[in-house]
C-alpha cells in the first residue's frame, strides 16, 4: 500500500459530533467499509489510501479500519448517542472524551473554564493518535461556532495544537450560526469570539453557514422544515468532496498543504467557501448525467454554495475544483478556463492561474459524477459582516456580558474580536478592489523595468 499522509479528525461539541457521525458513515461507504470497519468493497482504488483517515488494526484474525478520530464534548449526551448508535463499535472506545459540566452556550466556559479542565486529557488522546502516524499531514476540527463547547473548546484545542504541532496543517470545518436554524441569543458573541481565534490560529477554515444549508434544503431539495440530519448530510458530502483528492489516487492529488498553498494568497485570508454540484431532491434521479461544464457553472452559482453571501458582490482570489467520475482532464481545464474568460470581472486579475483542478475517477456513492469547489471569494466578508452587526448591537449595551466576565473573561477581548473582524473585512475589501496595476505610472514603471534591464544587457555587449 502506498504511503498515506495521515489526518487526525477531532470533532467537538454537539454539531461537531453529529456532523462527524454523518461524515464517517459516508466515508465508510466511499471506501467500501462496513460499520465495523471491515472491507467489503470490490474496487482496489477504495483501499489504496484508506490510511489517510483510518488506522489499520488486526483484531481477532480480521483486519479492521478504525477512524483516526477523537470525539469531544463537555456534556455526555451526544457522544453517548453516537456510542450507542449504528457506528458505536467503529470508534476506539478510549477516544471519547466527555465531561458532565456542559458549557451552556457560553464560549468563555468552553475556552477558559470547563473546557480548559478537559483540554489536557484531550491532547493526550490526540498525541496517542499522532504518535502512531508515519507522516502526519495535519488535523481537521469539526465544530459549530454558535455554542460554547465546539466554539470555545474547539478554539482552545486549535491554539494548543498550533503550539505543539507548529508545522502541521490545521484545517477546520466551522459551522456558522443562522437565526433560521437556532434562536439562541448569544450565538453572535460565541461565533465572533471564535472567528477571532480562527483568524490567527487556523491554516484553512472551511466555512459552513447553516443559513445556506437551510436554503438549499428548502429551495433545491424541497424539504419543508429541514432538520439537522438534512443539513449534516450536505456538510458530509462537501467534507468527502474536499478530501477526495487526498483519499483516492488521481491526477494532481495532494495533501492539505497543497490545498492551502494553492488557495491562500495571504495567511489571514484563509476562510473558504465550499460549493457542491449536483444537489438533487428526492424524486430526481441521482444518475442524471451532468456534463463537466454544467457542473462547473453550478459550482460558481450562489445556489450551490454553502455560505449565504452574494458572490457577485466580491471577486474570486483563488479556487480549487475537484471533479469526480468519468471527466477528462482536457474537458475540465476547458470548462474552468471558459468560466473565467466569460466572467473576468468576478476574478482578480493579478493572480493568473487561480483555479486549480483535481480529477478523481471514483464518484460519490449513488452518483455518477459530482464536483466540489473551495472558493476563496472576497464576498465572504458579508458573512463576517452579518455576524459583526448582530454582535455589535448587543455589545454596545454590554448585554449578556456578565455571563462571560463571570468566567473570568475581560470585556477587552470582546473589543479585540470586534476590531480583528473589522480588519479582516477591510482586508478582503482591499484585495477585492486591487487592480493588477494601481495606476498607469505603476504599469509604466513595471514595463520600464523590463526594458531597462534589456537596455543594460545590450550596452554591456
Ligand X SMILES: Nc1nc2c(ncn2[C@@H]2O[C@H](COP(=O)(O)OP(=O)(O)OP(=O)(O)O)[C@@H](O)[C@H]2O)c(=O)[nH]1
The option from ligand X, Mg ion, none interacting with 32 (CB < 5 to 8 A, set by class) reads none
144 binds ligand X (CB under 6 A): yes
Interface residue with ligand X among 87, 90, 156, 175 (CB under 6 A) is 175
74 binds ligand X (CB under 6 A): yes
Interface residue with ligand X among 147, 202, 226, 241 (CB under 6 A) is 147
Q: What residues from 212 to 271 belong to the interface with ligand X (CB under 6 A)? A: 228, 231-232
Choice between 6 and 73, CB closer to ligand X: 73
Residues that contact Mg ion, how many (by CB under 5 A) = 1
Please report how close the Cβ of residue 103 comes to ligand X at its closest, in angstroms.
Answer: 3
280 binds ligand X (CB under 6 A): no
Choice between 14 and 22, CB closer to Mg ion: 14
Give the Cβ contact number of residue 383 at 10 Å.
Answer: 22
How far apart CA 105 and CA 14 sit, in angstroms, is 11
Residue with the closest Cβ to Mg ion?
14
The option from ligand X, Mg ion, none interacting with 105 (CB < 5 to 8 A, set by class) reads ligand X
Choice between 176 and 359, CB closer to ligand X: 176
Choice between 188 and 241, CB closer to Mg ion: 188
Please report how close the Cβ of residue 104 comes to ligand X at its closest, in angstroms.
Answer: 6
51 binds ligand X (CB under 6 A): no
How far apart CA 356 and CA 376 sit, in angstroms, is 12
> Kindly report the CA angle at 85 between 83 and 86, in degrees rounded to 5?
120
Tell me 183's DSSP state: -
Interface residue with ligand X among 4, 9, 11, 14 (CB under 6 A) is 14
Chain centre distance of CA 446 = 38
Please report how close the Cβ of residue 370 comes to ligand X at its closest, in angstroms.
Answer: 20
The option from Mg ion, ligand X, none interacting with 181 (CB < 5 to 8 A, set by class) reads ligand X
Interface residue with ligand X among 181, 192, 339, 371 (CB under 6 A) is 181
Given phi > 0 = left and psi -120 to 50 = alpha, else beta, which region is 273?
beta
The option from Mg ion, ligand X, none interacting with 216 (CB < 5 to 8 A, set by class) reads none
Percentage helix, strand, coil for the chain under 3-state DSSP, each rounded to 5: 50, 20, 35
| Grid cell digits, residue 52 | 489517510
Q: What residues from 4 to 43 belong to the interface with Mg ion (CB under 5 A)? A: 14
174 binds ligand X (CB under 6 A): no
Cβ pair 174, 271 in contact under 8 A: no
DSSP H/E element including 98 = strand 96-98
Q: How far is CA 378 from CA 19, 252, 419, 453, in A?
A: 27, 26, 18, 36
Cβ pair 31, 25 in contact under 8 A: no
Interface residue with ligand X among 4, 9, 18, 205 (CB under 6 A) is 18
Please report how close the Cβ of residue 324 comes to Mg ion at its closest, in angstroms.
Answer: 34
Torsion angle, alpha carbons of 145, 146, 151, 152, to 10 = 150
How far apart CA 249 and CA 47 sit, in angstroms, is 10
Helices and strands counted in the chain (H then E):
16, 12
Please report how close the Cβ of residue 73 comes to ligand X at its closest, in angstroms.
Answer: 6
How far apart CA 200 and CA 194 sit, in angstroms, is 10
The option from ligand X, Mg ion, none interacting with 18 (CB < 5 to 8 A, set by class) reads ligand X
Interface residue with ligand X among 105, 243, 318, 378 (CB under 6 A) is 105
Chain centre distance of CA 404 = 28
DSSP H/E element including 206 = strand 204-209
| Grid cell digits, residue 347 | 476574478
187 binds ligand X (CB under 6 A): yes
Q: Which residues bind ligand X (CB under 6 A)?
A: 13-15, 18-19, 74, 102-105, 144, 146-150, 175, 177, 181-182, 187, 210, 228, 231-232
Q: Which residues bind Mg ion (CB under 5 A)?
A: 14
Amino acid at each position: 500500500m502506498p504511503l498515506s499522509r495521515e489526518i487526525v479528525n477531532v470533532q467537538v461539541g454537539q454539531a461537531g459530533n453529529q456532523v462527524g457521525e454523518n461524515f464517517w458513515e459516508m466515508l465508510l461507504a466511499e471506501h467500501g467499509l462496513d460499520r465495523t470497519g471491515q472491507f467489503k468493497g470490490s474496487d482496489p482504488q477504495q483501499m489504496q489510501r484508506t490510511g489517510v483517515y483510518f488506522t489499520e488494526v488486526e483484531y481477532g484474525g480480521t483486519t479492521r479500519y478504525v477512524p483516526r478520530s477523537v470525539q469531544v464534548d463537555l456534556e455526555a449526551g451526544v457522544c453517548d448517542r453516537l456510542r450507542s448508535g449504528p457506528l458505536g463499535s467503529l470508534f476506539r472506545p478510549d477516544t471519547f472524551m466527555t465531561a458532565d459540566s456542559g458549557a451552556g452556550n457560553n464560549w468563555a466556559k468552553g475556552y477558559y473554564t470547563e473546557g480548559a479542565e478537559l483540554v489536557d486529557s484531550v491532547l493526550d488522546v490526540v498525541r496517542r493518535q499522532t504518535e502512531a502516524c508515519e507522516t502526519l499531514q495535519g488535523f481537521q476540527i469539526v465544530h459549530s461556532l454558535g455554542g460554547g463547547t465546539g466554539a470555545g473548546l474547539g478554539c482552545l484545542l486549535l491554539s494548543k495544537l498550533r503550539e505543539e504541532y507548529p508545522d502541521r496543517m490545521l484545517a477546520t470545518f466551522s459551522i456558522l450560526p443562522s437565526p433560521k436554524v437556532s434562536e439562541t441569543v448569544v450565538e453572535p458573541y460565541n461565533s465572533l469570539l471564535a472567528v477571532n481565534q480562527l483568524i490567527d490560529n487556523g491554516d484553512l477554515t472551511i466555512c459552513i453557514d447553516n443559513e445556506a444549508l437551510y436554503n438549499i434544503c428548502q429551495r433545491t431539495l424541497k424539504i419543508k422544515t429541514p432538520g439537522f440530519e438534512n443539513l449534516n448530510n450536505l456538510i458530509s458530502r462537501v467534507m468527502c468532496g474536499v478530501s477526495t483528492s487526498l483519499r483516492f489516487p488521481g491526477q494532481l492529488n495532494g495533501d492539505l498543504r497543497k490545498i492551502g498553498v494553492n488557495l491562500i494568497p495571504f495567511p489571514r485570508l484563509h476562510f473558504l467557501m465550499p460549493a457542491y454540484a449536483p444537489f438533487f431532491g428526492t424524486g430526481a434521479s441521482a444518475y442524471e448525467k451532468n456534463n463537466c461544464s454544467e457542473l462547473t457553472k453550478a459550482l460558481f452559482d450562489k445556489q450551490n454554495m454553502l455560505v449565504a453571501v452574494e458572490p457577485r458582490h466580491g471577486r474570486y482570489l483563488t479556487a480549487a475544483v475537484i471533479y469526480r467520475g468519468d471527466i477528462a482532464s482536457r474537458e475540465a481545464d476547458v470548462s474552468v478556463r471558459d468560466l473565467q474568460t466569460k466572467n473576468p470581472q468576478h476574478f482578480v486579475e493579478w493572480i493568473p492561474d487561480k483555479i486549480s483542478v483535481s480529477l478523481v475517477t471514483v464518484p460519490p456513492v449513488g452518483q455518477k459524477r459530482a464536483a466540489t469547489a473551495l472558493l476563496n471569494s472576497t464576498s465572504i466578508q458579508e458573512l463576517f459582516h452579518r455576524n459583526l452587526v448582530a454582535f455589535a448591537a448587543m455589545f454596545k449595551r454590554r448585554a449578556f456580558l456578565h455571563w462571560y466576565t463571570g468566567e473570568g473573561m475581560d470585556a477587552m477581548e470582546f473589543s479585540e474580536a470586534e476590531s480583528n473582524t473589522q480588519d479582516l473585512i477591510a482586508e478582503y475589501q482591499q484585495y477585492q478592489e486591487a487592480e493588477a496595476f494601481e495606476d498607469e505610472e505603476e504599469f509604466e514603471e513595471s514595463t520600464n523595468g523590463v526594458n531597462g534591464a534589456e537596455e543594460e544587457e545590450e550596452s554591456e555587449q
